[in-house]
Structures are given as C-alpha cells and as structure tokens.
Amino acid sequence: MEEVRRWDELIPDALGLIFSNLSLQEKLTVIPRVCKSWNKAVSGPYCWQEIDIEEWFCQCEPDHLDRMVRMLVTRSCGSLRKICVSSLRNDTTFSFIAEHAGSLQMLQLPRSEISDCIVEQIVGKLSTVTFLDVSYCNKIGARALEAIGKHCKLLVGLRRNMHPLDSAGKLSQEDEALAIATRMPKIRHLEMAYNLTTTESVLRILSSCKELELLDLRGCWDVKLDGKFLKEKFPKLKVLGPLVVDYYEINEWDNCSEYSDAVSGYFSWDFIAGEMDDYDDDDDESFDGMWDDECRLEELELRFYEAAHEDMGMHGWPQSP
C-alpha cells in the first residue's frame, strides 16, 4: 500500500513556503488554529519574507499599524525581501524596518511621515534595496533622495509620485530631479508624476541615467519634450505624460496596475490565533481589538494614484490645464 504523507508532518520550512501564498488574515487567524506544527510554521520566517499589508491597512485602526509592522518584521528574522506598507506615522517604525533590512530588495512606503533627517541617518542600512516607493511622502525631499542614491547603489526603480493637491503649494521640485540625475545613474524605472519640475531637469535625468527604460511624467505640466527627439536619442525609452489619461500598465516591479476595476470586499477578522506570542511588547494590550468589528472596504475606483482626497469628488483627477 502506498504510504500517505500527512500535511502536519511536513517540515516547518516547507509549510512556511506553502503558507506564504495565503492572505494575511488566513496566516494570522486560521492557520495557527489547525495544529501545533502549522502554528509553528506560520510563526517562522519563511511565511514573512514578503510582507504586504496594504489591504489590511485599509480597514484597520491606525493605532495598530506600527505594532503589526513590528510583529511581522520580527517574524521574518532578517530574511525580509519585500515590504509594502503605507502611512507610517513616525520615523521610529521606519528605523525599525531598516534595522532588519539585511536582505530587503523592495521597499514601498507611500504616504508615510518619514523625514529627510531620518532617511539620511539610516539609509546606509538599505544598501540591498533595488526598488523604492516614496510617493506622497511630503516630509522628504532632495536631501533624502540624494542620500538614497549615494547609499543604495543597486537601486534600479524609484516611485516618487505626488498628489496634485499636495504639489500645489510648492514652488519647485527641481532639486529632487537633479538629485536623481546626479546620484542614480543606474535607474531604469522612474515615476515622478505631478512633480513640479522643468524640461531642463528632465533632460538632465535623461543625459545622466543612460539605462532608463520607463519615465512617468504625467501631470508634470512644465515639461515639454519633443517626441521625435526622444525617439531618435532614446529609442528604448518609454515616456508617459505629461498628459494625464487612464492607462493600464503592468511592469516587472509588482502586480499593481495604474487602473483597476472597482474592488469591494468584506473583512471580518474575529480573532487572532495564538495571540501573537512571539511578539514582545511592553504594552499588555491584546491585538484582539484589531479584528473586533466586521469592516467593509468600500468600493473604490483606482486611477493610478493611490491617495484620496474627499474634495476630489467622484470624477478622478483634475483635468489637464
């Protein structure tokens, strides 16, 4: 008779690789309750080499975000390769991520309250990062980008999109474009939509970044580039904008698109198994409050930009001037 292998007898590493394909909710609230071996596997690093809590953040209490990030990063035990989290509220959590970034390749922190000062202090610990998303991070500027370019020598992808309303009060972001041109010569994928930059600064980027393949300039109204010139001088370069249109783009960096169909879903995380025993925190509060109420992620229409402002209305982004 052929021997039947039991799932609970698989080694933790193998189970961890399998469970890494499950949703965050399932890994934290379902798998740990199945059996001891599954609980052990989901508590190990193989499930947490890639951490994406964007979906969870949309329906959680803001106070829980930092604690969740710290818990999951700690579980990765230094094997973290990708982390995607938005709206970090302080420099402390960013520093914590950097302390555990020995293997980190993709870092996505849109809408976060990180500052130039903290980036300059800890960016040396992010030397393995190849793709960085600091879109809508209004407290950083050219100083942070220059430090990133200086220390992140493997960086080939940068997402630095801005919200049109946030850019309205600024005089210029030319210093950011010059920092990219000066410090990031190996960049291949660059998004700088709604940046207040000029034609001269963009030409400086094009002349310095010889490996550039995709340049997103949508909403950069002061930039005027001749299509024929670009085709002759940079035949391999794809330029988007400055005209803003609905556009569907799939790239090698992630599975996010610049336009997606309306998404809706219900989240009811009534418990969290194991009470996250491996998370050490001085605060005795339980994580149970994270999942108490049934939450609904309202139907959203995503049109390239992730940030949302109530006064933008129902009709997307401002029309081209």
Looking at residue 89, its pLDDT comes to: 86
Rg of the chain over all Cα atoms, to the nearest angstrom:
21
Whether 254 maps to a domain, the answer reads no
Looking at residue 305, its pLDDT comes to: 41
For the purposes of burial, counting CB atoms within 10 Å of the CB of 224, is it exposed (0-12), middle (13-18) or buried (19 or more)?
exposed
Whether 52 maps to a domain, the answer reads no
Which secondary structure element, helix H or strand E, spans residue 262, and what is its range? strand 259-267
The band of 31, judged by pLDDT with boundaries at 50, 70 and 90, is: confident
Whether 150 maps to a domain, the answer reads no
- For residue range 178-213, list pLDDT tens digits in order: 999 999 999 999 999 999 999 999 999 999 999 999
Q: Specify the pTM.
A: 0.73
**Please, what is the average pLDDT of the chain?**
77
Instruction: Supply the DSSP string of 299-317, one letter for each residue.
Output: EEEEESB----GGGTTS-S
Cis previous bond, 185, omega within 30: no
221 and 199 Cβ atoms separated by less than 8 Å: no
Q: CA 284 to CA 252: how far, in whole Å?
A: 42
Whether 211 maps to a domain, the answer reads no
Report the pLDDT averaged over residues 51-65. 76
- Locate all alpha helices (DSSP H) within the chain, ordered by sequence: 12-19, 24-29, 36-42, 54-57, 65-76, 91-99, 116-122, 142-151, 164-167, 174-183, 199-208, 227-233
Residue 117 Cα to chain centre, angstroms: 20
Total count of domains within the chain: 1
Would you say residue 269 has pLDDT above 60? no
Whether 34 maps to a domain, the answer reads yes
Domain that holds residue 22: 9-47
Which secondary structure element, helix H or strand E, spans residue 83, and what is its range? strand 82-84
Q: Which two tokens stand for residue 48?
A: 């947490």
214 and 190 Cβ atoms separated by less than 8 Å: yes
Highest mean pLDDT (candidates 22-36, 46-60, 221-235, 302-316): 221-235
Would you say residue 276 has pLDDT above 90? no
Whether 282 maps to a domain, the answer reads no
Whether 287 maps to a domain, the answer reads no
The band of 293, judged by pLDDT with boundaries at 50, 70 and 90, is: very low
Whether 22 maps to a domain, the answer reads yes
Would you say residue 254 has pLDDT above 80? no
Looking at residue 168, its pLDDT comes to: 64
188 and 216 Cβ atoms separated by less than 8 Å: no
Q: Which two tokens stand for residue 84?
A: 């995607």
Closest Cα partner for 38 from 8, 18, 66, 14?
A: 8
63 and 89 Cβ atoms separated by less than 8 Å: no
33 and 62 Cβ atoms separated by less than 8 Å: no
Q: CA 269 to CA 123: how far, in whole Å?
A: 35
